[in-house]
């Protein structure tokens, strides 16, 4: 009896069965890296003596962190990706203007499909578990080895099951479910474990909410986050998958090291307070907290549905004069769709600024840097000390509805306070 994680790993290791704790070598379907992590991989690949990559169509290099290039160092790093991709004729190199935030772009383009084994030199690679794939972040040297061999080593993780039942409260989303979960188990509550999300609330959760949940598995220490594929998965991938895919399912008697259950009707709009994602409180308890900056976007909440949610709050309203608001769609396609739907008009009329797709504001690397003593609320995934700028700044994490309401109010607030 195996979990979905164990089944995918076994299939890629050429084994009938694997068990938690076992060390295996497995073939990978996709290897990815970005403009911060790929240069190290490229350097190590060169040192390895490998003449060519294992498959020019299975390596994705996406400059998304410091792009459009913010300074000379960023430009040099991005140049390395460009030249390596050209030398090895990589089909999955995405230049500025074609790129998007990697963890939104690859599912959107059908480059990651159900049943895949994906490794990436970025911790939020676990996002793709929403499609029923095993996806995890690894070091840049592991990526270098995989670019040459098409394989990577793994220790099969133990699995935890998280069951969500009941109906979500108004304006609550996948972001609230995962923040509440991390608040419950802590930032190491699922350390090196597979986090399998299920239950009636998950069955009804749209793909964008599932991607958000799996994206933040790493914030609980998880090796990967995963949702067993179903009709929602099928609907999402059937028109976009670039390769054949396979649905794997957990056996009914599969072994889990721990099972947690949550009643969604009791999960409020949730905010993570500084300086850990696990430091959660109901949004309504934070109404005395003023903010200087609001960020909506990222690989966590930069999808079209997230932007629609923010626009619903902002329509006919203005961003508080004491607040600056940055909105960054996760991909060019999302940007274009938002434009066609009139969302850009709403954002600009509200006096928010709209950015090209980039990870920049999320990691305090490029745009939206916080000064000493400043405070932001963001739909991103991390709020560690100095994450968005000065070490004495503060970052709160929320869903797009709470972030947008806070932008209007000038303090942390909820859509209900605006009569929504």
Tens of pLDDT, residue by residue over 94-133, are 999 999 999 999 999 999 999 999 999 999 999 999 999 9
Tens of pLDDT, residue by residue over 139-165, are 999 999 999 999 999 999 999 999 999
Q: 98 and 136 in contact (C-beta within 8 Å)?
A: no
* pLDDT above 90 for 254: yes
pLDDT at 361: 86
Q: Name the residue ranges covered by the structural domains of the chain.
A: 4-262, 270-418
Q: Does domain 4-262 have CATH number 1.10.150.20?
A: no
Query: Which range is least confidently modeled, 218-227, 361-370, 393-402?
Result: 361-370
Question: Cα separation of 393 and 235, whole Å?
Answer: 42
Nearest 5 degrees, angle CA 148-CA 9-CA 134? 85
Cis amide leading into 275 (omega within 30): yes
Report the share of the chain in percent with pLDDT over 70: 100
* Domain 270-418 architecture: 2-Layer Sandwich (3.30)
* pLDDT above 90 for 196: yes
How confident is residue 365, by pLDDT bands cut at 50, 70 and 90?
confident
How much is the average pLDDT of 405-417?
98
pTM, rounded to two decimals: 0.95
How confident is residue 182, by pLDDT bands cut at 50, 70 and 90?
very high
Looking at every residue in the chain, the average pLDDT score rounds to 96
Same fold? 4-262, 270-418: yes
pLDDT at 364: 87
């Amino acid at each position: 009896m195996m979990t979905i994680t164990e089944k995918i790993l076994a299939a890629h290791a050429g084994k009938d069965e694997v068990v938690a704790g076992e060390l295996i070598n497995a073939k990978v379907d996709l290897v990815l890296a970005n403009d911060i992590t790929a240069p190290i991989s490229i350097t190590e690949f060169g040192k390895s003596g490998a003449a060519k990559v294992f498959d020019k169509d299975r390596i994705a290099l996406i400059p998304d962190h410091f792009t459009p290039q913010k300074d000379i160092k960023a430009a040099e790093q991005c140049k390395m990706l460009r030249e390596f991709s050209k030398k090895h004729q990589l089909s999955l190199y995405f230049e500025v203007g074609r790129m998007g935030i990697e963890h939104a772009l690859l599912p959107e383009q059908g480059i990651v499909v159900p049943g895949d084994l994906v490794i990436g030199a970025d911790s939020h690679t676990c996002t793709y578990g929403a499609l029923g794939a095993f996806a995890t972040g690894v070091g840049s040297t592991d990526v270098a080895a995989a670019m040459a061999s098409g394989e990577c080593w793994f220790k099969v993780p133990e699995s935890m099951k998280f069951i969500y039942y009941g109906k979500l409260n108004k304006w609550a989303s996948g972001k609230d479910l995962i923040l509440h979960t991390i608040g419950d188990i802590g930032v190491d509550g699922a350390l090196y474990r597979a986090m399998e999300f299920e239950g009636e609330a998950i069955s009804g959760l749209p793909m964008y909410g599932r991607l958000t949940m799996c994206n933040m598995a790493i914030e609980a220490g998880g090796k990967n986050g995963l949702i067993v594929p179903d009709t929602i998965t099928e609907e999402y991938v059937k028109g976009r998958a670039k390769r054949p895919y396979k649905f794997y399912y957990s056996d009914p008697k599969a072994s889990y090291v721990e099972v947690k259950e949550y009643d969604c009707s009791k999960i409020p709009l949730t905010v993570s307070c500084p300086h850990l994602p696990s430091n959660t409180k109901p949004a309504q308890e934070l109404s005395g907290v003023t903010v200087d900056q609001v960020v909506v976007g990222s690989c966590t909440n930069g999808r079209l549905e997230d932007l629609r949610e923010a626009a619903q709050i902002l329509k006919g309203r203005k961003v508080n004069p004491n607040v600056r608001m940055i909105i960054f769609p996760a991909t060019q396609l999302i940007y274009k769709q938002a434009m066609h739907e009139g969302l850009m008009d709403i954002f600009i009329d509200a006096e928010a600024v709209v950015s090209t797709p980039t990870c920049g504001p999320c990691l305090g690397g490029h745009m939206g840097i916080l000064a000493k003593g400043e405070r932001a609320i963001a739909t991103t995934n991390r709020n560690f000390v100095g994450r968005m700028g000065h070490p004495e700044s503060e970052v709160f994490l929320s869903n797009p509805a709470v972030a947008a309401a806070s932008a209007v109010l000038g303090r942390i607030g909820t859509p209900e306070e605006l009569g929504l």
